[in-house]
Each structure stands twice: as C-alpha cells, then as structure tokens.
Chain A
C-alpha cells in the first residue's frame, strides 16, 4: 500500500511552493558588482572645510559656496525626522565621505577620454554611452558616485535649444538659470535631508526645455554608487518653460556591500504655463541581504512646482530597491487648472522598509490631482503609504482622487496607510479609496489548474495588480520594470 506516501501529498504541495518562494525571494541582485577604478575620494567627515573642498574641487562660484554653507549651518540646527514608520539605525554623518569621483583627465569632452572601465561599467548596467551605440530615442546622463561621467545626445538636443547636462556643467555654463531656480522648489530649510543635500550635493542632471519645445526623446539619468564608505547626494533640476514637454527617467543601482550607504537626493521641477513634465523612476538600489545587512538608505526629497496655468506634472515610480526608503514626490499646484499625478508601485521584501507616498498641495483654483499607490510587501518587510492632500482656502473647485492598494505576500510583513487630508475650501471634491489584499490560495490554485506553476502565477498576479501604474511608464522602461518586478518577487508568497 502506498498510502503513507500519498497521505500528505496535497498538503506538501503548499510547503513545497513556499520553499520555492523562499528560495527565489532571496533572488540575487544582478547589479551588485563593483568597478575597481582609481577614485578620488576625500576623507570622511563633515564640516565647513569639507564643504569648501567640495566646492573648490568643482570650481564653483562664490554664491554657490554661500548657498552650501548656509544650508550646512541650518542643517546643524536640525534633527533627523522621526515621524516616518521606519526603524532607522543611527547614522554617523562623520563616518561618511562626501565626495568620490572616478579619477580622470580634464573633463571628458569626447568619448575617447572617458575611461574604458567606466564605459564598461555602464555597458554592464545596460546603459551604453558610446554615441553610436547609445540608446535610440533616449539621452542619458551617467552619474557615478559624485560626478557625471558622460551625457549622450547633447548636441542633437542643443539644436532645439534643450539643455541637458550634468549639474556641475550647468553651474559653469548656465549660472543664471541655475541660480534662478536652485532651491526655488525645495529650499535648504525644507527638511533635514534637504539641508544636508544642499550643503554637500555633488552632481546630478540639469534640464531646461525652452518655450514651445517638445523634447523629442526621453531624457534619462542613471545613478550609480560605486565607491564604498561614501554617500551619494545628487541634485536634479528640471525646468519646462511655457508650452514645453519632457519625459524624464531616472534609474539607480549600487554594489552589494555589508555597510549601509546613504543616498540623499533632491529633485526640483518647475513647470511653467501649459508645460508638461513626466518624471519616472525605477529605483533599484541595493536592498541589503536576506537578513537586512547592508543596503542603501534612500532619503530623497522630490518636488515639482506647477507654477504655470494649466501645467502638468506626473510622477511615476517603481520602487524595488533600498534597505530603507523615505520619499514623497510631491506637486505644488499653484497655476490655475494645473494637474498633478502620482503613480507608484513600491515593493518591499526581506527586511526592507519603505515609507513613501506623495503630497498634493492645491493652492491654485480648479487644480486636479490623482494618486494611485500600489504597495507590495513580502518577507518581513514594512511598507507604508503616506500621503497628504491639501486644499488651500482660496483654491476653488479642486479635485483629488486617491487610490491606495496594498498587496501582502506573507503573513510576517506589514502594510500601512497614512493618508492626511487637509481641506480648507468647501468646493473641493476629495476621494480616497483604499484596499488591502493577499494573493489568495484560490487564485494560485486556479492558475495551477490551468498549468501555470505557482512562481509564474505570482508574477502574473502581481504584474496584473501593478498594471495600472506600469502602464504609465515610458515604453523603454516598462519592459525593464516589469522584469525587475518579476525578478524581485518571483514566488514571494509565504
């Protein structure tokens, strides 16, 4: 009799799939390599001399050094925010090096001068920088540690009057523009990490789209942390003048290390009359290992000011990496009839923590905002949505729609929702919908019965769940992001 063998078969099936899941949940991070390159790295520690040193290394004008020092002095008066649903170990800000740059000859003007090792690094990340191989339809600014390595398609864009370059170059070549907009959306007084970034920011991208110009290709910045013991503090500034349009993408990866690395960035966006900016992020910083050792702390301030009437700003983010994420891409809707959108998929697994969401500040009349947030939690992770919808007293006829969904893939993870609604005008219509769900055994069995293995079924169901947001990504990114989601979550039901 083979009854004993049969006895527990169907039950075992469940355990087995759980095992597969556990195996794959630990899925290897494929960008975890390091590039062994000669790096100019300044000693650890933070004080006014360090800030002067950074400013000197970058050959900055006096006003920018002043800006940095003011920010630093303000930062000294601040404490790290504690309100987020995050468990952040103490960070020793004196143990971080605030500037690391791959050593190079005088600023590479042609590609021949870019270190082949750097080109190789970005090739491995799927970002070819050679003009002839460069991704068609997408211009890339590649940033390694504290400096921009190379910006592709610059000349072609310049023909249309579009400025797309590293922040450092912008300071040199377009000081008036930078000075006019720097800190105009995110002041150094905004918060602890904004003050820190304003003091020590190294590089990032600068984009200016002139009046009436539709940028013909996707603009993209690829951030790479390489050196150890450093932080990355980049700054991105995007200005879309009247009737301009641009779609901008941001990608990021880092090597696997046991130490935690700090990434505190600022993104500022200014949108003038009838202009439109789409900003998409696929965030894949190293998330730490299964037990939560190592990984990037991703503390980012992103905000756009829809200053112009009928302007539009749309944030789309797919967040899969980082040990801890603290990030609220926001819109200040000041121009009449301006529109803000926020579409987010945030995935946490293992010991990852994410506290992310958005702020929609309606100060202009008849402004509209849409928030769609999809959280996916697995393992022992904690995933929080935190969002503010604020309608100012004089902002008549505003609308907001918020949809906030959580999908739980394990019984040990947490999903939390913290919506803040602050309406000071009676004519506003504000809607909030929230759901929490698990992938049900019924759904998995239904897929299994049709021949689809559990692992693939989970990927299918999760992609279905996130589809509404994934559809907002530019084509070039959508496929990558979908794959990323699949790799990150393959079989994460437990």
Chain B
C-alpha cells in the first residue's frame, strides 16, 4: 500500500544468541509521529539498530516493508539512501575526520545511489550553512572532527543536523533526550519539529514523557520484553509518567 511508509510484521531479532525482539508489529504512515516507550532492557534500542541494519544483530524471523522495499534485504547504506535515518543514542567519535568531509561523503554517496553527480563544493557549503541554523550549531562545527570532543548536547544536535542534511523519509530518534538539559532539549526537539512534514515520519524512542512535551506523538507504544504490549494516543505517555512501568510489568507477567 502506498500510504504506508513502514510496515513491521512479526519481527524477531537477537544479539549474541539472545533473543531480544520477540515479534514486533508496527505500521507507520507518512506524517505520523510514533513514540516507543518502555522500561530499560525492553528492546527499544535493539529495534532501532535492527531497522538500521547493524550487523551485530541478527534477524531470525519477520518482514519489514519500507515504502515498497524489502528493508531487511538492503545494506545499511542502502537503507540510508532509501530514507531511513537513525539518530544514535551514543554517537560515535571519528577522530581526524572533519564534519564537512564526513557529510560530503554521505551526501555524495546518496547522490551516487540515485545516479546524480556529486554536489559542487559551493552548493554543499551552502547546504551545510542552511541546515546548521535548524539546530543552532555554530560554524566551527564544519572543521571539527565528527563528534570528537562534543558535549552531550552538541552530539545530539549534531545528529539532528545530519538528519536535516539527509532529509530522511523515516527518522528514528533513539533516546535523543538522554543527557540533555532543558535548553538543549528544546533546541533538538525544535529541530525535529521543523523537519516534520506530511511526507516523512518520525519514531521517537524514549524512556521519559519529557521529550513528548516537545515532540507531540500521534501514537504511543509500550515495548516490554521484546513485544509491543500496549498502543494508545498521547494520553498513554502521561499515564506512564504518572504510574510508572510497574503496572505494565504486572499486566504482562
């Protein structure tokens, strides 16, 4: 169906022989924001890594359709080209590689995938300038090494900056709020909101309701022991905030 962006059916995945995801079902349509919440260790990050194609995880069962493509058959880089973006919980440092070189490699790899010529240096720098403004990153960023010596807040802003440059159809934000003070949180969430439109969708993975005050979800899912055990509207997040996760655990014992 053309109005479904992401369709996950019965997804099972494991790491080091231990099954973490035990049958995930999820449908995301363009324009939607989905929040996935759940206690620590429930499989939230695993879901995002598996969708992005991290080779450390193996899929044992299930299908994932990404706007008509068989997502699990694509390499991580092709998933990226097809419009999947993961904002990492812990963005890795790459010493000596400047942000400008890194992003140019990313942008041109995508253009190559779609048989387009590399972007000219002038156009590229203009693009960097425009996108930087979205998350209020200063212009020294371009010459700094990827995430090296970045503060927690800068790292997360840098993730959203990369998202702005790559313009994904589906963005997965993995605990983007963790380690952020309230000002950084506002900037990051503001960036995400600016990038939202009718054609793309966002999956927000978070432990706390706090981020959802800034990024309003259409759906809230509760992940527990590798399954989505409850789905509701924004009010579900508030309920979780109030009652904690214990009642979910009780219900699913």
Binding site for B on A (CB under 8 A): 2-3, 5-11, 13-14, 440-443, 445-454, 456, 460-461, 463-468
Contacts and interface: CB of A to CB of B under 8 A. Distances in A.
Contacts of A460: 94, 97, 101-102, 105
Interface string B76-88: 1101110001101
B92 A440 contact: yes
The residue among A3, A5, A8, A449 with the most chain B CB atoms within 10 A of its own CB is: A449
Nearest to A3: B61
Interface in B36-67: 50, 52-63
B109 A10 contact: no
A448 B95 contact: no
Interface of B: 50, 52-63, 72-73, 75-77, 79-81, 85-86, 88, 91-92, 94-98, 101-103, 105-106, 109-110, 113, 145, 162, 166
A467 B148 CA distance: 15
Nearest to B59: A6
A450 B80 contact: yes
Given A452-B77, A453-B77, A7 B59 contact: yes
Nearest to B50: A10
Nearest to A450: B106
A449 B55 contact: no
A10 B106 contact: no
Overall SS of chain B's interface: mixed
Contacts of A464: 94-98, 145
A11 B97 CA distance: 27
Contacts of B105: 447, 452, 456, 460
Contact of B77 (A11, A451, A461, A463): A451
Given A450-B106, A452-B106, A6 B97 contact: no
Given A460-B94, A460-B97, 17 more contacts: A3-B62, A5-B73, A7-B58, A9-B73, A10-B50, A10-B56, A10-B58, A10-B59, A440-B92, A442-B92, A445-B52, A447-B105, A450-B103, A450-B162, A453-B109, A464-B97, A464-B145
A220 to B, nearest CB: 27
A120 to B, nearest CB: 33
Contacts of A5: 73
10 contacts: A3-B61, A10-B55, A10-B59, A446-B92, A448-B80, A452-B77, A452-B102, A460-B102, A463-B97, A464-B97
A454 to B, nearest CB: 8
A445 B54 contact: yes
